[in-house]
Amino acid sequence: MIVIGVDAHKRSHTCAAVEELTGRRVEIRTAHATDDGHGQLLEWARGLDPERVWAIEDCRHVSGRLERFLLGRGERVLRVPPKLMAGVRKTAREPGKSDPTDALAVARAALREGLDELPVAQLDDQALEIRQLVDHRERLVGQRTALINDLRWQLHDLDPAFQVPARRLSMPSWQQKVARKLSRLGQGVRVRIARDELKRIRELTTTIDQLYQELGALVTAYRPALLWLPGCGVLCAAKAIGETAGAQRFPTASKYARITGSAPVPASSGNRTRYRLDRGGNRQLNAVLHRIAITQIRWHPPARDYYQRKLAQGKTTKEALRCLKRQIANTLWKLLQPDPENTRSRRRKTPKTIICNTPLP
């Protein structure tokens, strides 16, 4: 097996492959920090050894995109804190500092600490399927949105009096109304283009709805308790499963909250004690927490009461929302664990309402 150390930068990533048993350098490769560059690195790594582990220097936003790319394709990824490389560089035979040297230091630091000691992110077969389907659905939604925006302009040029309300062209009823309108406008080029766009929108809508149903079945079979969390629907649950990549790699709920960006960052000085918003972490997971929190504030009385109590204590709306997101992160960490509680929950016939930060019975 090989360990691939990654020195991540804003515009390029340098990877160094070393043997697990000896730490001997095998090969070094640099690629652009784009999806195409990530694909080139993955193809290169697959050609070196079928068994491999990616050791990525934990640089937050700089390394996050590559990490998500690899996880989405079933690769094993572990994070190496930057402070662990300092000792490796001091004892290296080659002096100086460069991207290849840093990549080698990352790989050898991971070997020195032990691959089993560092948190490894890896999606199992079911979670990988969920992650891939979520990403595929999001791409299709983006394509449909682009077509809908163009179709709205085409309709405006054809007949300004024909108004389509916002966010309605994804609905079959309005698609049928637009089809009837286009059938009465003749056979001009603009009309043909609009009909073709409407046809593609309908096809994409059908596929998107089918993917939603498939994701619902997969999430229900994998972590059904997530769907009983107020405000957490199929898409939020599927995104949480795919982006977490194994909740068991986080030993505590606090560490999981840090990766979701919901744990406050100390910003104190002198006699003043305060905390600020954490803009790091996985922003996809943070978006999931935000959607759940907003929904709970609107429709879930316990969460709304908690939010109002925080406001009454003098916190701002952002601070109160941050507190609620932290509680939801704690609950998500518990529900995502592959423990007997989730296994027994699959046999429950009556769903149980789970209030934020309340453990399963």
Query: Which pLDDT score, from 0 to 100, does residue 182 have?
Result: 92
User: Could you tell me the pLDDT band of residue 283, with boundaries at 50, 70 and 90?
Assistant: confident
> What does the alpha-carbon distance between residue 176 and residue 198 come to, in Å, rounded to a whole number?
10
Taking CA atoms, 285 is separated from 3, 19, 81, 236, 241, in Å, by 27, 34, 21, 9, 9
Q: What is the pLDDT of residues 341-351, one digit of tens each?
A: 444 444 443 33
Cβ within 8 Å of residue 298, ≥6 positions away: 304
**Left if phi > 0, otherwise alpha if psi is -120 to 50, otherwise beta: which for 223?**
beta
Average pLDDT across the chain, whole number: 85
More confident residue, 95 or 170: 170
Best CA proximity match to 169, nearest among 136, 197, 134: 197
How many CA atoms lie within 13 Å of 194's alpha carbon, on the beta-carbon side? 25
More confident residue, 120 or 157: 157
Cβ within 8 Å of residue 114, ≥6 positions away: none
Q: What is the pLDDT of residues 224-268, one digit of tens each?
A: 999 999 999 999 999 999 988 888 888 889 889 988 888 887 777
- The answer to whether residues 170 and 144 touch, using CB atoms and an 8 Å cutoff, is yes
pTM over 0.75: no
Query: Which pLDDT score, from 0 to 100, does residue 14 have?
Result: 92
- Alpha-helix residue ranges (DSSP H) falling in the chain: 35-48, 61-71, 85-91, 99-113, 125-158, 172-183, 189-222, 234-244, 253-260, 283-299, 301-312, 317-335, 340-345
Question: Given CA atoms 144, 145, 150, 156 in this order, what sign does their dihedral have?
Answer: positive
Q: What are phi and psi of 288, to 5 degrees?
A: -60, -45
Burial 278-311, CB ≥16 within 10 A → b, else e: beebbebbbebbbbbbebbbeebeebeebbeebe
